[in-house]
Structure 1
Amino acid sequence: MQRDGLNPATELSDLSLRASYKIALKIARANNPFSDGDFIKEFIVEAAELLTPLEVKKFSGISLSRQTIAWRIAGMAADVYRQLIDSACKFIAFSIALDESTDISDTAQLPIYVGARERTTVRFSTNETHSEGYQLAKSS
């Protein structure tokens, strides 16, 4: 059965790719080593063998090697950077705060906080009700 014009192999490949990105994001957020992907994959495949033996191939197709996890995280980081740059182009004012500290294991942490105000365009309609509202606000 095909959905959205994709054949089942393409759909499975797309789902495996999405799963790989989701797991890579979890690894990055947990600050775990990239090699944990191989370890996680072992558990996923073993669980699939017990729970859905006919569909083990679907789970073993998820790419979680150390190199793949590194590529996924680098790709997501580049996307976040691009989004930040795109947003920053719209800033009319901003402030940055840095807070260097150490955590309980004496590891340095550097949170960076950015506050910004973007350009906004205010347009008044030629519609009479809007014009009247503007005149009332202006005269008050």
Structure 2
Amino acid sequence: MMTTGPGGHGQTRRLALFGTKGVVSRCRDFTEQALADWGWTAAGPEGPSDVVEDVLLLVSELVTNACLHAGGPEELVLSRSAEWLRVEVADADPRRPRRKVQSDLSRPGGHGLIIMERLAHSWGSEPRGTGKVVWLEVRLSPARGQRMSRP
């Protein structure tokens, strides 16, 4: 489902989700298709777009975290404007995400929030119904969809 925001400047796509089996790849495919439809492709004349790869990794992390810590995601929402992409993953668990304290960063697991902090312009969570939404935003260049430098 796609809706257009005020004045036609933004668009939103929603994907309802049930269960955890295959949900990460479904969300990545959905996101990749939305970005392609919006003119942000993973491979262009200058090679892979870093921002598309970053967004796909960020979607994977959000959805995986919902699977591991919140019983699975209920909805993926992608909203975009000319300069921003917002990704939201809703789940039924009201607990906010928190970073695990790890003494050995070389061990697998527990790096999702670190990745979000490094690749997203901003991220957070907010209560929604009896659960929450974890969101992130990626700033895009209006001209080519490339990530702009952070302020």
Please give the TM-score of this superposition, normalised by the length of structure 2.
0.27
Q: Relative CO higher for 1 or 2, CA cutoff 8 Å, sep ≥ 6? A: 2
Q: Considering only CA atoms, is the larger Rg found in Structure 1 or Structure 2?
A: 1
